[in-house]
């Protein structure tokens, strides 16, 4: 098992060092090939001492505006990382997960520098930390800016596990009382929403290893069981058992696990039906 695979499973400080070494090495190669990117890579990679500081500065530049400067945003993220090191460990696991699940990710520097699903998720982790600290106004501000910049709208109250991959990111919406477990993969235009105007616990609970395919709508206080798969464009209104594959409008069970962890396999195809 290589360093990147280890980081996907654990996300320790040694894994962060391995990730950072890979990012720097790849950035050097890119800089030699693409002269026009040297200034960007200097700021984004070479001027930073490690993964944590580079991530702070990258996220802050992406989200900064006239009302909240990159410096102030960087201080928020830096403080969250310092007070809760698990956030940074989860970020390393998220990044490593991309390299093992996305065939378009030919290296690790590309998702680190450019993937807005990754950037949105790490800002959510900062916002969730602030929410848990009672700083709800600033958490909502971050949610709004992330939605504006990355087109990913996740309520800051939502707990999200490690090794999560938000592919593309555009149109992803996650409601306030949702829960997302470890090693989950979420594609574009997925909604974890409510069914109406009810209050209280009203959003889906997505367990470990689940694959939510493109355009899936999962609605209500329901559970998507461990290692389940939701087909593209499906509307899920009832609980999904562990290891089940569901598809359709409304979604029905159409099969069972063909792979150990659907979120890792990233196979959006459905079982062939007789007739």
Q: What is the pLDDT of residue 9?
A: 43
pLDDT for the residue 93: 96
54/95 same-domain check: yes
Q: In this structure, are 14 and 147 located in the same domain? A: yes
pTM for this predicted structure? 0.92
State the Cα angle at 148 between 223 and 136, rounded to 5°: 65
Q: Which domain-ending residue is among 106, 124, 152?
A: 152
Q: What is the pLDDT of residues 154-198, one digit of tens each?
A: 999 999 999 999 999 999 999 999 999 999 999 999 999 999 988
Nearest alpha carbon to residue 44 among 137, 117, 112, 122: 112
The CATH number of the domain holding residue 201 is 2.160.10.10
For residue 238, name the pLDDT band (cuts at 50, 70, 90).
Answer: very high
Task: Give yes or no for a contact between 81 and 88, defined as CB atoms under 8 angstroms apart.
Answer: yes
Domain boundary at 152, 187, 215, which?
Answer: 152
Total domain count for the chain? 2
Instruction: Provide the token pair at 225.
Output: 């069981």
Same domain? 126 vs 11: yes
- For residue 206, the enclosing domain spans 171-275
């Amino acid at each position: 098992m290589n360093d990147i695979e280890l980081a996907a499973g654990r996300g320790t400080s040694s894994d962060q060092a391995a990730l950072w070494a890979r990012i720097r090495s790849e950035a050097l190669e890119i800089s030699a090939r693409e002269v026009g990117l040297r200034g960007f890579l200097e700021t984004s990679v070479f001027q930073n001492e490690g993964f944590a500081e580079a991530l702070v500065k990258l996220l802050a530049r992406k989200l900064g505006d006239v009302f909240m400067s990159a410096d102030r945003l960087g201080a928020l993220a830096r403080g969250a990382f310092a007070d809760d090191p698990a956030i940074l460990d989860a970020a390393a696991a998220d990044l490593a997960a991309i390299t093992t699940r996305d065939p378009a990710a030919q290296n690790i520097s590309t998702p680190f520098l450019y993937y807005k699903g990754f950037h949105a998720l790490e800002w959510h982790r900062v916002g969730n930390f602030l929410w848990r600290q009672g700083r709800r106004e600033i958490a909502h501000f971050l949610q709004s800016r992330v939605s504006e910049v990355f087109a990913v709208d996740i309520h800051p109250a939502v707990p999200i596990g490690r090794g999560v991959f938000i592919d593309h990111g555009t149109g992803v919406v996650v409601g306030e009382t949702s829960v997302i477990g470890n090693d989950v993969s979420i594609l574009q235009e997925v909604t974890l929403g409510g069914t109406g105007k009810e209050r209280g616990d009203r959003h889906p609970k997505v367990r470990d290893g689940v694959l939510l395919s493109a355009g899936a709508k999962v609605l209500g206080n329901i559970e998507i069981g461990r290692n389940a798969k939701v087909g593209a464009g499906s509307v899920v209104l009832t609980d999904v058992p562990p290891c089940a594959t569901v598809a359709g409008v409304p979604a029905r069970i159409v099969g069972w696990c063909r792979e150990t962890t659907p979120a890792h396999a990233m196979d959006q195809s459905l079982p062939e039906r007789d007739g």
